[in-house]
Structure 1
Amino acid sequence: MSGSKQQDLVAKLVGTAAALAAAWLAQKLIAETWKARTGHEPPRADDEGDHGLTELVAATALTGAIVGVARVLATRGAAKLTSNDGA
């Protein structure tokens, strides 16, 4: 495998691992913050609880936005760290 192809593979693997870790960490942070503010866990798809539509939409939007941003930033950071020029 050529050096460039190997470096591309390493960048993809590191980027994927960083994105997964960032998404997991963001979800944990959201769950803890939600619980501290509301007194209960954020609603999930498999919950049979009595969560209102407003709470479901808020939890989904907040989680999606924060996890999405965390994944993008982690992937970009990993790509920057594994790039040839380091800039």
Structure 2
Amino acid sequence: MADKGDIGYRVMAGAAAFAGGFVAKKAITLVWKKTTGKEPPTNPESPDVALSEAIGWAVVMGVGMEIARLLATRAAAHQWAKGTGELPSHLKVEA
């Protein structure tokens, strides 16, 4: 069972990942509009959306969101270690 420290970290990391994803979605949408000159597809599964556009949007959004989540949770882990003096137990690397 997770101790209170790990639960606190998981809440903090979850909030950071959520915030990072929110910001990333806004940024990716803005960059998409600037580079393509049009709105991103609202429903990429629709046959009315070109396949290349749907795949491009899915790849850009998927990679962008995962990078944002990774960076946000790493930053949360760094701040947690800075505040507590150690990483949460599930992030410790065994030598």
TM-score normalised by the chain length of structure 1: 0.81
Q: Identity over the aligned pairs, expressed in percent?
A: 32
Distance 1:14 1:78 in 2: 7
Q: Which runs of 5+ in 1 are unaligned?
A: none
How many Å apart are 1:80 and its aligned residue?
Answer: 1.9
Residue of structure 2 equivalent to 1:8: 6
Moved over 6 A (4+): none
Where do 1:2-81 residues align within 5 Å?
5-45=3-43, 50-81=48-79
Distance 2:21 2:55 in 1: 19
Q: Is the 8 A contact 1:7 1:82 kept in 2?
A: no
RMSD: 2.3
How many Å apart are 1:86 and its aligned residue?
Answer: 5.5
Aligned residues: 84
Per chain length, whose mean CA-contact separation is higher, i.e. which structure has more relative contact order (CA < 8 Å, sep 6+)?
1
Distance 2:72 2:15 in 1: 9
Q: Which runs of 5+ in 2 are unaligned?
A: 88-95
